[in-house]
Amino acid sequence: MPFSSTPSPYRCKLPPGPSAFQPWKSNFAVQHDLLFFLNTLIQTYGDTVRFQLALWPAYLLNRPEDVKRVLQTNSHKYDKDVLFFRMLRPWLGNGLVTNLEPASWLRQRRLLQPAFHKSYIAAFDTIMTTETVGMLQCWDVDGEGSRPLPLLHEMQRLTLRIASRTLFGSDFSQHLDPFNQALIEVNEFFLSYLRFPFPPLRFPTPRHKRFWRAKRFMDSVIYEMIAHQRQTHEERKDLLSLLLQAKDEETGEPMNQQQVHDEALTLLAAGYETTATVLTWFWCLLAQHPQVEERLHKELDDVLAGRLPTGADLLRLPYLRLILEETLRLYPSGWLEMRKAREADELGGYTVPKNTILIWSPYLLHRHPDFWVQPERFDPERINLPTSLYQQAREADTWIPFGNGPHRCIGQHFAMMEMTLLVATIAQRYRLLLAPGYRPEIEPFITLGARQGLPMLRQRR
């Protein structure tokens, strides 16, 4: 698709970039290492780059003011009608992440928002700590030993248990293991399909058959949970109950069966993977910085004295929060974002023609040397350093692990509470050490994964 010829109110000035006549080079790089490719474009051409993404003209953005204009200031000129979100729709349906129609998305956002109010999610603290203790009891039985544990997989199992219990209650426990396996199969499918999205999903290839089989199983479980909730008249405090009770403010209509399914599946799939990824990098960074770990242990010992944390302790653990925020800066799980220009606009003095794809990476933006002192350095105390640009950077929207504007992650407070409680529970009983000889490497797919699941050793404190 060529750049739109629609008349623009802006003078036509296009950013620099590689030749549009060799799109195969861009496509090859995208399929093999997209993050490396994007970083190379920035290093070569600057903070705004024009390139060809398959059939679509695209701009790569790496200035916070440009990203803010797309997400917040001029968000009405941009939508999510891009290939990435379209590819997820066969799996997630028309949930909050993949809803491409602005008016419909806004209605759903308003219906879901009350379920994620701080006062409501605070009641989930016991579920979070109870499930974490259950994992630690398995660790106790397994023993410390010398066998490395793929930490990413362990964190995924834990966060899936928490996501399923907060969403469905305890009724989901019998489905947990097969559902986890289905999620693994779907994730593996998309890792492959995002790199090479051919042939279309309707063709019955072995890869596609595995996806549809996993999809059908997940659908059947979600619909079973919905039917059970509708038949149960007892008062419940899980998120699915709120979805079923939610009604449109204007029409008074509740969500239909399909919409409840799509939102429930979206919350479950998105809620466990992203949190598990951040927690994995948290433990990796902590293992590499013993002084930070020592100070964290002191804070936990002083505040908790061996007891389980609660939601009331969140503000009493400021150093833990700083470590989490710095982890989110260096390793945001949602490392890539895209939008499409619905109409012409201007970003950073450059013309943005209609239908242009806008791409940016919080991973790269969070490491921009113009906004961060020693950006590659792990430093939880940036906010306390007189020479630091940490606070200014956050105010300037260069710290956006949860996005920004109307589409800011609806589960931000839930995720921060969950990560704080899980870390506070685990770190009181165990230290996690990198497996000997292992060198941490990122695997940027849908989230910012870790090579080999980041193998670590457990050591009792």
- Is the CB of residue 195 less than 8 Å from the CB of residue 189? no
Residue 10 CA: distances (Å) to CA of 259, 300, 350: 40, 55, 9
Quote the tokens at residue 370: 């113009």
Does residue 173 fall inside a structural domain?
Answer: yes
The identity of residue 163, as a single letter, is A
- Please report the DSSP string for 296-323 in residue order: HHHHHHHHHTTSPP-GGGGGG-HHHHHH
Same domain, 79 and 170: no
The identity of residue 141, as a single letter, is V
Bridge partners for 53 per DSSP: 56
Q: Residue 22 maps to which CATH number?
A: 3.30.43.20
- DSSP assignment, residue 58? E
Q: pTM here?
A: 0.94
Same domain, 299 and 354: no
Domain of 356? Answer: 1-92+336-364
Placement of tokens 């109110």 in the chain: 9
Same domain, 1 and 54: yes
Q: How many domains does the chain have?
A: 2
Same domain, 315 and 351: no
CA atoms within 13 A on the CB side of 279: 31
Could you tell me if residue 201 is left (phi over 0), alpha (psi between -120 and 50 degrees) or otherwise beta? alpha
Does residue 398 fall inside a structural domain?
Answer: no
Q: Where are the beta strands (DSSP E) in 62-171?
A: 78-79, 149-150
Please give the Cα distance from 297 to 314 (Å, whole number).
Answer: 15
**Can you tell me whether residue 3 is helix, strand or coil?**
coil
Same domain, 262 and 298: yes
Same domain, 163 and 299: yes
Same domain, 311 and 212: yes
Shortest CA distance to 358 belongs to which of 1, 62, 127? 62
Does residue 18 fall inside a structural domain?
Answer: yes
Same domain, 355 and 449: no
Same domain, 33 and 179: no
Q: Cβ neighbours of residue 447 under 8 Å, at least 6 residues apart? A: 273, 274, 277, 333, 334, 335
Q: Cβ neighbours of residue 84 under 8 Å, at least 6 residues apart? A: 194, 336, 338
Placement of tokens 């700083």 in the chain: 322
- Is the CB of residue 159 less than 8 Å from the CB of residue 272? yes
- DSSP H helices, 396-453, are 412-427
Quote the tokens at residue 222: 């979600």
Does residue 226 fall inside a structural domain?
Answer: yes
Q: Residue 429 maps to which CATH number?
A: 1.10.630.10
Q: Cβ neighbours of residue 250 under 8 Å, at least 6 residues apart? A: none
- Is the CB of residue 194 less than 8 Å from the CB of residue 446? yes
Please say which residue of 349, 364, 379 terminates a domain: 364
Which residues are known binding-site members?
Answer: 409
Same domain, 138 and 173: yes
Query: pLDDT of the chain along its 461 residues, tens only?
Result: 444 444 455 568 999 999 876 655 666 666 668 899 999 999 999 999 999 887 889 999 999 999 999 999 999 999 999 988 999 999 999 999 999 999 999 999 999 999 999 999 999 999 999 999 999 999 999 887 678 999 999 999 999 999 999 999 877 888 988 998 999 899 889 878 877 788 989 999 999 999 999 999 999 999 999 998 888 877 788 999 999 999 988 889 999 999 999 999 999 999 899 999 999 999 999 999 999 999 999 999 999 999 999 999 999 999 999 999 999 999 999 999 999 999 999 999 999 999 999 999 999 999 999 888 899 999 998 866 554 455 666 666 889 999 999 999 999 999 999 999 999 999 999 999 999 999 999 998 889 999 999 999 999 99
Same domain, 73 and 146: no
Placement of tokens 């960074």 in the chain: 285
Which residues are known binding-site members for heme?
Answer: 409
Q: What pLDDT score was predicted for residue 392?
A: 62
Q: Please classify residue 224 by burial: count the beta carbons closer than 10 Å to its beta carbon, then call 0-12 exposed, 13-18 middle and 19+ buried.
A: middle
Quote the tokens at residue 47: 């903070």
Same domain, 356 and 459: no
